[in-house]
Structure 1
Amino acid sequence: MDRAEIVHENFLRRVAAGDLPPGRSPAGPLEPARAVSLFRAGCLSRALDRQARAMQRAGHGFYTIGSSGHEGMAAVAAALRPTDMAFLHYRDAAFQIARADQVPGQTIAWDMLLSFASSAEDPISGGRHKVLGSKALMIPPQTSTIASHLPKAVGAAYAIGAARRHRPEHRVMPDDAIVMCSFGDASANHSTAQGAFNAAQWTAYQAIPMPLLFVCEDNGIGISTRTPRGWIAASFAHRPGLRYFACDGLDLYDTYRVACEAAEYVRSRRRPAFLHMRTVRLYGHAGADVPTTYLSREEVEAEEANDPLLHSVRLLHEAGVLEPAEALEIYRETCERVARIAEEAVTRPRLKTAREVMASLIPPPRPCAPTNGPSQEARAAAFGADLKAMEEPQIMSRLINWALTDLMLENREIVLMGEDVGRKGGVYGVTQRLIQRFGADRVIDTLLDEQSILGLAIGMAHNGFIPIPEIQFLAYLHNAEDQIRGEAATLPFFSNGQFANPMVVRIAGLGYQKGFGGHFHNDNSVAVLRDIPGLILACPSTGADAVGMLRECVRLAREENRVVVFLEPIALYPLRDLHEEKDGQWMCRYPAPGHRIALGEVGVHGSGGDIAIVTFGNGHYLSRQAQRRLRDAGVEARVIDLRWLSPLPEAALLRAVEGAKRILIVDETRRSGGVAEALMALFAEHGRAPVARLVAEDSFIATGPAYAATMPSADGIVQAALAMVEGAR
């Protein structure tokens, strides 16, 4: 008999015999009807755990991480409102069940069993994963990535106060809502979690509203690794800006009382709190985990003897609310009901095709009120003398600044955030004067933590904002990339399109910076971004393109709920000249408001048929230099600027190379994992004639005179193109 059945038989036997564990008497504000309701939620959670294991044994279920031992989370749900957004630990079925009891029309047992069965009718994920979550219950689904949901909980809590000052069109949470985020004691040690705690404290320390309740479910073990006794209390009881509460999760009355106190503190003070809840973990970590392989049988049995449901039976009896025999009948009836429902749930259809699985990678569009662009009066007040300067060609960084200004004038829900974006105006001056134009609550100087920056953006998107977070350098993304991959981009997929994190992530990156930075400030790797399904990756190469593409990126986020990364080539920010000093040919005039470059639209420069040079970013600049030199050598070339690196604009690209005798790909990313690999495959699959590539070496970038030694050059492009043309003669 496995541990789940042992716990089940122990419950039946001990309740029937009146052999209940000792403990404190029931005390607190939990009224009888609600107490019984919470016990029922715990029984349903337990029955679902057992049924999940039975379904797996029968080949009908596929995921068995359960909630047994954590049934006290039902009392936390009861202490909150159903309009309080909840980011749940994967052991919180009891929370979701109890919250469903607060919202009319829910069929929670049926819904969760459909999830266990991976049915396409599962109302949260559509059969893509066994996740907790519900649109109606204000519970966005979370995957299993450890602690990765904490940063966005911080952002969502911040967004409540921000929405009072600037109401987004698609606001979700009421002004007096709070956010609850739960996790295990082992997850509390993760760097992502520690960053989120610090960000919440850092914000609250400055008297900025942060209505966030952290709930740590402390069962004393992470898979097989023990949490040192007393560690969580010692770590969190005295943190500045974070109020500490503790409760016994085995005691429904104590948990409800303390959770009410903690929720009231957060709601009335608009400050974060940490609720430390003692729990036990029954069974193992998941269905395949056998706890007796790393714990003694005595230790396992001691935890089982502290079964929260046994404690609940005793407490309800002592409170005069429910006799043990009645509690036992509720438990039996719940198990039988779940088994009956499961028989039907396993017959429901499942996803079968790639098309069905991928249907929710891209979220559905949302209706948005029309915008007519910023008024002339608003533009005059914001731009001042810059309106006159718009009549003359300008460098890319200045044009991006103006584009951000117009976009923020037009869309009040746009919020910028990042390191140094406000008072300093950005490392390269791209966000200069935006804080003076729009205020510190729309141009947010964040703490120096990329996970917190992206988490802030994701959380604000949950409450209707259009965040534009800035990652200061592309290399800085790598310590936080899971916030994009594991959180923002996966949310539509795992919620069947019901939740989304629309945003435009601005990243300064790529190489060719002269005499600055080396590999940490010059990074030519974009593979991690192109590898994320559903993400749009844009890379402009001229100032005018940057404006038109940024406007399209904001439209994609606002109207189509998309996650977009806008990669700005640092080396092109200040460039003025193309061929000779002071020729000014790389500067552009500011496109009038309303001009956009659509997703998938490529740039074509020239019509030469001898060779088509396909490139992007700095490669476009170098290829345009090479284009004139090739013409002087009798070779007519056209230069095609990809603009959109993911998804590749395949149809437009194939049209753009039509009639060219040869194709040369110039790619400043690396030979392995670079953009050129996908382009080579595309042209080969469509039988396009001779294709070669000039790419960066598989190397980091050096500081000093060798800054460009590992990447394509104008000379190299000329040589490669001539070699292709002359080799064919």
Structure 2
Amino acid sequence: MPQMNMVQAINDALRHEMRRDQRVVVLGEDVGKVGGVFRVTQGLFDEFGDDRVIDTPLSEGGIIGTAIGMALYGLVPVPEIQFSDFIFPAYDQIVSELAKYRYRSGGEYPAKLVIRTPTGGGIRGGHYHSQSPEAQFIHVAGLKVVCPSNPADAKGLLLASIRDPDPVLFFEPKRIYRAAKGEVPEGDFTVPLGKASVVRKGQNVTIVVWGAMLYEALEAANQAAAQGIDCEVIDLRTLWPLDIETIITSVKKTGRVVVVHEAPKSCGLGGEIVALINEKAFLHLEAPPKRVTGFDTPFPYTLEMEYLPLSHRILPAIIETARY
């Protein structure tokens, strides 16, 4: 299998699906001739032309509104929002229209599309290019939310998302666009939505994580192992629908859990995960669940590495939970 980074894997997935399904179109700011600000769509314009790879005006509401119209007429659009921070001008289109078409039409108009957008911090982008808004879409019925952590999952999850009947928010952790590398299957390859991956098996503490913070969690788990604490690390991959069964199975084994995410702590997905663990595995818990997250502040520029839940913040939470 070829070695790819995440940019190459996502590009490969888009190219494969555009060749396979003539209904698939890509649209967004600079996605055509330039190939996107991160070059994720590079080369697609040359192969598929300007009727299937469409450079749009700088108007997120217009991009998503256009994509919804395309979907209602039978196309399969994959719009790109250049940074997830700028998705909010399209928020009304997504939550008031896109998320509700399938339900309110009794399934007649499913509005099948995938919104791709780079997310998260770690690139010194400041507070307008570093946010993690996934929880604000998980709260909306009718949307699926995906966040891969490696190239193979990025390709497999994107192909599965494009073929899914529901609208999908596909968050791509920009910090690891080129840092995460690995073998990626060639050709047709899907990873099922709604299924987490147990990346590291362990007996003492469960760590639940997604996106770029997976690597920080694994580093913290390795450091904890030197102190005799054996961590199990779960990469959610699909944030919604949530694979709660895999989480509960792990928590019943370890009795302890730490949830890690970049987004602010209050009302983040970590809080929902902790609530579900309390509902479904309370009697198996040996310690209070802990969350290691971003802070309830604007994303800072000079203090970016203090804001992110890196391994040096995760390790103390693991130790405290294990020794409770």
TM-score calculated relative to the size of structure 2: 0.95
Alpha-carbon shift at residue 657 of structure 1 (Å): 3.5
Tell me, in whole angstroms, the C-alpha distance in 2 between the residues paired with 1:522 and 1:634.
Answer: 35
Q: Choose from 102, 107, 115 the match for 1:492.
A: 102
Question: Structure 1 residue 547 and structure 2 residue 159: aligned?
Answer: no
Match of 1:503 in 2: 113
Counterpart check, 1:681 vs 2:278: no
Structure 2 residue corresponding to 1:723, chosen from 310, 316, 320: 320
Distance 1:409 1:451 in 2: 28
One of 689, 693, 697 as aligned partner of 2:295: 697
- Specify the alignment match of 2:169 in structure 1: 565
Among 196, 203, 210, the residue aligned to 1:616: 210
Alpha-carbon distance in structure 1 between the residues aligned to 2:24 and 2:258: 39
Q: Which amino acid in 2 is paired with 1:524?
A: S
Q: Which residue of 2 aligns with 1:574?
A: 178
Q: How far is 1:434 from its partner?
A: 0.8
Please list the CA deviations of residues 119-166 of structure 1 after superposition, one character each: whole Å capped at 9, or x if unmatched: xxxxxxxxxxxxxxxxxxxxxxxxxxxxxxxxxxxxxxxxxxxxxxxx
Which residue of structure 2 lines up, in the alignment, with residue 95 of structure 1? Answer: none
Partner residue in 2 for 1:598? 192
Find the aligned partners of 2:132 and 2:145 in 1 and give their Cα distance. 14
Question: Per-residue deviation at 1:683?
Answer: 0.5
The answer on whether the counterparts of 1:609 and 1:637 sit within 8 Å (CA) in structure 2 is yes
1:589-621 deviations in whole A, cap 9, x for unaligned?
A: 122333221121101022210111011112212
**Counterpart residue identity of residue 42, structure 2:** Q
Query: Cα deviations across residues 217-264 of structure 1 (Å, max 9, x unaligned)?
Result: xxxxxxxxxxxxxxxxxxxxxxxxxxxxxxxxxxxxxxxxxxxxxxxx
SS at match of 1:592: coil
TM-superposed CA distance for 1:552, in Å, is: 0.9
Partner of 1:418: 28
1:477 corresponds to which residue?
87
Query: Which residue is equivalent to 1:397?
Result: 7
Q: Structure 2: how far apart are the matches of 1:703 and 1:607?
A: 35
* Cα separation, 2, equivalents of 1:642 and 1:663: 14
Contact 1:508 1:569 in 2 (8 A): yes
Q: CA deviation at 1:647?
A: 2.2
1:461 touches 1:503 (CA, 8 Å); kept in 2?
yes
SS in 2 for 1:490: helix
The alpha-carbon deviation at position 425 of structure 1 amounts to 0.6
Q: Distance in 1 between matches of 2:168 and 2:126?
A: 27
Q: Is the 8 A contact 2:145 2:239 kept in 1?
A: yes
Structure 1: segments with no counterpart, 5+ residues: 1-390, 576-585
Instruction: Tell me if structure 2 keeps the 8 A contact 1:393–1:587.
Output: yes
Deviation at 1:565, TM superposition (A): 0.7
Partners of 1:597 and 1:657 in 2: CA distance: 24
The AA in structure 2 aligned to 1:467 is P
Following TM superposition, by how much is the alpha carbon of 1:452 offset from its aligned partner in structure 2, in angstroms?
Answer: 0.8
Deviations along 1:627-660, one digit per CA (max 9) or x if unpaired, are 2212222211111001111222222332344411
Identity %: 34
Q: Which residue of structure 2 lines up, in the alignment, with residue 436 of structure 1?
A: 46
2:77 matched residue in structure 1: 467
Give 1:711 shift: 2.4
Match of 2:311 in 1: 714
1:637 maps to which of 223, 227, 231? 231
Counterpart of 1:425 in structure 2: which amino acid?
Answer: G
Contact 2:198 2:234 in 1 (8 A): yes
1:397·1:430 contact (CA, 8 Å) conserved in 2?
yes
TM-score with structure 1 length normalisation? 0.43
Is 1:526 aligned with 2:130?
no
Contact 1:419 1:446 in 2 (8 A): yes
- Three-state SS of the structure 2 residue aligned to 1:505 is strand
Secondary structure at 1:599 match in 2: coil
Q: Which amino acid aligns with 1:488?
A: L
Aligned position for 1:246: none
Separation in 2, partners of 1:700, 1:463: 39
Contact 1:611 1:721 in 2 (8 A): yes
Question: Matches of residues 94-243 of structure 1 in structure 2 within 5 Å?
Answer: none
- 1:637 is matched by which residue type in structure 2? C
Larger RCO (CA under 8 A, 6+ residues apart): 2
Moved over 4 A (4+): none
SS at structure 1 position matched to 2:206: strand
> For 2:231 and 2:136, how far apart are their aligned partners in 1?
32
**3-state SS of paired residue (1:481):** helix
Superposed displacement of residue 393, structure 1: 2.2
Letter in 2 for 1:643: R
User: Is the CA contact 2:194–2:240 (under 8 Å) kept in the aligned structure 1?
Assistant: no
Q: Tell me the amino acid that sits aligned with residue 314 of structure 2.
A: I
Root-mean-square deviation over aligned CA pairs: 1.4
Paired residues of 1:666 and 1:676 also in contact (CA < 8 A) = yes
Using the alignment, how far apart are the partners of 2:249 and 2:161 within structure 1? 23
Checking the alignment, whether the CA contact within 8 Å between 2:232 and 2:250 is kept in structure 1 is no
What is the identity, as a one-letter code, of the residue corresponding to 2:70?
A: M
Residue identity in the other structure for 2:27: M
Amino acid in structure 1 at the alignment position of 2:266: S
C-alpha contact 1:509 1:568 (8 A) present in aligned 2: yes
Match of 2:57 among 437, 447, 458: 447
2:175–2:212 Cα contact (<8 Å) kept: yes
**1:375-402 superposed Cα distances (whole Å, 9 cap, x missing partner):** xxxxxxxxxxxxxxxx442211111111
- Distance in 2, matches of 1:703 and 1:694, equals 20
* Post-superposition offset of 1:439: 1.0
- C-alpha contact (below 8 Å) 1:525/1:670 kept by paired residues: no
| Matched positions, count | 320
Conserved 8 A contact 1:701-1:708:
no
Paired residues of 2:149 and 2:210 also in contact (CA < 8 A): yes
